[in-house]
Amino acid sequence: MATFRHTDLFGGTIVADLPSAFVDASNIRQVPDHQEVYLDKDGYTSIIFEITERVNDFNTDEEALSYHLQDIAEADEGLNILSSSTAHLPSLPDDTPAYTILATQEPIAGHQVSRLSIRCTALLLTLVRLEKQSADLLISINVPLLKEEFPDESVDLENGEAGTSLNAAMAYRERVLATLEIKDWSLFV
């Protein structure tokens, strides 16, 4: 079972519990100011917090969630949405809309694939709509699912055959959402 530590994000203006095994990627490489990126030092999972301008070109928040998913995935090719739902973040105002989606993406033909034997990448995306701040807060957990973890006959994400890595990522998401708190709303000005 993972242990967690209370983590300052964006200079402490946002806080959340993150797995203790995750390290701040800005200590390794450059990260844009509107992102916080954490990497699993013992694996391949990443957790990314991103603040974007609120997308208003859609009739529903669910369409905005789909837009952000498409933007992160970079291509529709091999993208499979497995589930989506509303989310509750107890430390945010009750009227703050939030949504989660679980999707997988097959490696895209012609793109450089790492030396890992990746079956697909699971993406656990959470969208927090901050209307008064004209912002969207995205929390994405990216999990490469390795062929070694999922032999052909055992892959069935639609029926709950998630494997160790994805089950851990779902627990990470649950903890992040339960502990995420915006300490300084002026971050969004």
| CATH code (residue 151) | 3.40.1000.10
- Give me the pLDDT at residue 9, please: 98
| C-alpha distances out from residue 64 to 23, 29, 100, 104, 129, Å | 30, 30, 12, 18, 9
Q: Is residue 9 part of a domain?
A: yes
Q: Is residue 189 part of a domain?
A: no
pLDDT-based confidence at residue 15 (cuts at 50, 70, 90): very high
The total number of structural domains in the chain stands at: 1
Q: Which amino acid is at 151?
A: P
pLDDT in tens, 93-146: 999 999 999 998 887 665 555 556 777 889 999 999 999 999 999 999 999 887
Strands 79-86 and 98-105: antiparallel
Contact of 142 with 123, CB cutoff 8 Å: yes
- Give me the pLDDT at residue 50, please: 98
Per-residue tokens: 171: 């627990």
**What is the residue range of 123's domain?**
4-105+115-183
R_g of the chain, CA atoms, integer Å: 16
Q: Is residue 188 part of a domain?
A: no
pLDDT-based confidence at residue 85 (cuts at 50, 70, 90): very high
3-state secondary structure of 118: strand
pLDDT in tens, 150-183: 655 455 666 666 678 888 999 999 999 999 999 9
Tell me the H-state helices in 18-160. 61-73
pTM for this prediction: 0.90
Q: Is residue 134 part of a domain?
A: yes
Q: Is residue 11 part of a domain?
A: yes
- Give me the pLDDT at residue 184, please: 97
